[in-house]
Structure 1
Amino acid sequence: MRKLIPSYIRVPLIFFIIAGLTEYFVDSGDQPAFMENPVVIVFLLLVLLILIAIEGIVGSIENVLYQSLDEEGKARYDAKQTEPSKLVLWVKDAYKKLLGSKPIEEEGEIILDHNYDGIKELDNNLPPWWVYSFYITIIFGVIYMIRYHVFNADDQFAEYEIEYAEAQRAIEEYKKNAKDLVDFNTVELLTDASDLKAGETIFVAKCAVCHKADGGGGIGPNLTDDYWILGGGIKNVFKTISEGGRSGKGMVSWKKEGLKPSEMAQVASYVLQFQGTTPAEPKAAEGEIWVDESAPEENTNTEEAPKTEDTEVIEVVEATEN
């Protein structure tokens, strides 16, 4: 390798391979970006210095060994160093075969009879690499036609739908394991029994002292009616729990008190379970009636049922009796 690749190429190549492996194994979503991690930067600088030092030491050893040789040994060593390696010879031979051109000494065999003011033309064959590439495109075209136009394999639109569905499943799975990434904009109402049970535990421990265990309200407002001071719905309730109540009075910010986003989502979902229940000692309503504008409107228009023949007969009889 030392003979094949010069040191000014070898050292950076090894360094960047180590840097890439370090980035792959060190960098992750919950850590600083690779180049922003000072520990990794210091590590890579040390690696670079070690590589340079090793290169210098090996070069010094080779120089000492070279100086210890006699004149004949030095001559053999120099000849071996200038002799191209088998890999280089193989690459050159493969290049000539793929190029398909004839040496200058043999060009006389393929000179055409055309002569334009002393300019002659060679009848070279197409380069083998070009011919092979052309055959490969033909084979690819046949396979493509059979796959997509005969056997009706999934086209790019179907593949997109499949990949999109897989990505959605991956997102849902990620959300299950990353519930603490939820915030005011992304929180959703939790209906799972385990989440609601966890929310109840938090509510009893931290919220019931002000709102009572049945949500009827004490120091804090009543949670069972349709009136809300800072808005209802899962997003507003989550935000109130997270940021706290009105400035100077009301509930503290539970985000600052150590509740995780997933826990706040659980207790917010549990609080909404009080809606429509009847507490033992309900506190008077506070705030304003909150209506979820995102909820679909119910159709309250009742159309008059069409009259049948029996209905018309009954109406005529009633009119006659009157």
Structure 2
Amino acid sequence: MRTTASYLRIIGYLIFSFLLMELTIDSGDQMAIEKYPVIWAILGIVLLFSMATEICVEALRSILVRTLKAEAKEKYMEAEAERKANQFGGLKRFYKKMLGSKPLSEEHEIILDHNYDGIKELDNDLPPWWLYGFYATIIFAVIYMARYHIFDGVNQAEEYEIEVAEARAAIEEYKRTAKDLVDVNTVTLLTDASDLQAGKTVFMDNCVACHKADGGGGIGPNLTDEYWILGGGIKNVFRTISEGGRDGKGMISWKQDLKPVEMAQVASYILTLQGTTPAEPKAPEGDIWTEPDTETKQ
């Protein structure tokens, strides 16, 4: 594009010179260039010289640009190589220092007199990392001996017993607060309104067919009086719901259908029916249940 513009500029100068010559030179009826052909020759020489000059300038400019680009690229490559060489320089220097070995150019200083069939031996020092590790084991051994053999520190067997006791306490605490892990041995009477409402929902969905909605009893026994076939109290009611009633008759086991927390909730709700007055109470069945003194009430 630059060369084409130069050519066009030269041609424009030539046309301008031709027009200027025609306007300024009196040549009569002939054109000035026809009457004075020398001028044509001069203009042609000027044109050729100008084109040659433009070509040379463009060539020199192109060579200069390529040279500058090559130099810039070389400088960039050198800078990139230097950057990569210095990358992690501190870590590399530390690694070499920890090896403790001499450079290849200095190995002649530590060559021993031994010579085995042309094989020579170097008197290298132990690597610093190995020495530091060895010193660390000595310090650890001294501290360990003082801690456990002089000042009567806790030995491994005692540490094991302590950790086992802590683990057992953590498990018991988890069982106490995790409702889904409740069983017949850990179940307690629930009094929270949300638990009792959840127990009522379970009762209405699964128990009213046999015990009626008010607990007065139908196929199943009356749940509002103080008589119980398999024992009252939260643990007995929970066990009956979980394992079922008497073999061959009575309630089925619900432990496959209800979660432990749901059985605890419905058992707690059933006990709230004690002393209420159902519409059509069924005759008492079983024995009067008295809460043992050892049973914890909540």
Q: Which residue of the partner structure matches residue 191 of structure 1? A: 188
8 Å CA contact 1:216–1:282 kept in 2: the answer is no
Deviation of the 1:151 alpha carbon: 2.4
Q: Which residue of the partner structure matches residue 239 of structure 1? A: 242
8 Å CA contact 1:114–1:120 kept in 2: the answer is yes
Measured at CA, do residues 209 and 129 of structure 1 come closer, stay the same or move farther in structure 2, by a change above 3 Å?
same
8 Å CA contact 2:216–2:222 kept in 1: the answer is yes
Measured at CA, do residues 281 and 160 of structure 1 come closer, stay the same or move farther in structure 2, by a change above 3 Å?
same
8 Å CA contact 2:189–2:268 kept in 1: the answer is no
Q: Which residue of the partner structure matches residue 80 of structure 1? A: 79
Q: Which residue of the partner structure matches residue 129 of structure 2? A: 129
Deviation of the 1:78 alpha carbon: 1.6
Q: Deviations over 1:214-245 (max 9, x none)?
A: 989542047744559xxx9577424257xx99
Q: Deviations over 1:150-171 (max 9, x none)?
A: 2223233333333333333433
Deviation of the 1:92 alpha carbon: 2.0
Deviation of the 1:194 alpha carbon: 3.3
Deviation of the 1:147 alpha carbon: 1.6
Gaps of 5+ in 1: 1-68, 286-322
* Residue aligned with 1:194, SS: coil
1:71 correspondence with 2:70: yes
Deviation of the 1:113 alpha carbon: 2.1
* 1:277-292 mapped onto 2 (5 Å cutoff): 281-283=283-285
Deviation of the 1:71 alpha carbon: 3.5
Q: Which residue of the partner structure matches residue 90 of structure 1? A: 90
Inter-partner Cα distance in structure 2 for 1:176 and 1:106: 73
Higher gyration radius (CA): 2
Deviation of the 1:100 alpha carbon: 0.9
Gaps of 5+ in 2: 1-67, 274-280, 288-298
Measured at CA, do residues 284 and 148 of structure 1 come closer, stay the same or move farther in structure 2, by a change above 3 Å?
closer
Of stretches 200-209 and 96-105 in structure 1, the one that deviates more from structure 2 is: 200-209
Counterpart AA for 1:97: K
Of stretches 128-137 and 80-89 in structure 1, the one that deviates more from structure 2 is: 80-89
8 Å CA contact 1:188–1:235 kept in 2: the answer is no
Measured at CA, do residues 133 and 143 of structure 1 come closer, stay the same or move farther in structure 2, by a change above 3 Å?
same
Q: Which residue of the partner structure matches residue 263 of structure 1? A: 262
Measured at CA, do residues 260 and 236 of structure 1 come closer, stay the same or move farther in structure 2, by a change above 3 Å?
closer
Q: Which residue of the partner structure matches residue 114 of structure 2? A: 114
* Residue aligned with 2:191, SS: helix
Q: Deviations over 1:247-277 (max 9, x none)?
A: 9995696986xx6531312444777999xxx
Measured at CA, do residues 89 and 138 of structure 1 come closer, stay the same or move farther in structure 2, by a change above 3 Å?
same
Inter-partner Cα distance in structure 2 for 1:252 and 1:238: 6
Inter-partner Cα distance in structure 2 for 1:190 and 1:213: 24
Measured at CA, do residues 91 and 197 of structure 1 come closer, stay the same or move farther in structure 2, by a change above 3 Å?
closer
Counterpart AA for 1:220: G
Deviation of the 1:106 alpha carbon: 1.9
Inter-partner Cα distance in structure 2 for 1:77 and 1:160: 64
Measured at CA, do residues 263 and 196 of structure 1 come closer, stay the same or move farther in structure 2, by a change above 3 Å?
farther
Inter-partner Cα distance in structure 2 for 1:254 and 1:117: 86
Measured at CA, do residues 192 and 225 of structure 1 come closer, stay the same or move farther in structure 2, by a change above 3 Å?
closer
8 Å CA contact 1:199–1:268 kept in 2: the answer is no
Inter-partner Cα distance in structure 2 for 1:211 and 1:187: 22
* 1:1-322 mapped onto 2 (5 Å cutoff): 70-83=69-82, 84=84, 86-180=86-180, 182=182, 186-192=183-189, 194=191, 202=199, 206=204, 210-211=210-211, 218-221=218-221, 224-225=227-228, 236-240=239-243, 261-268=260-267, 281-283=283-285
* Residue aligned with 1:138, SS: helix
Q: Which residue of the partner structure matches residue 297 of structure 1? A: none
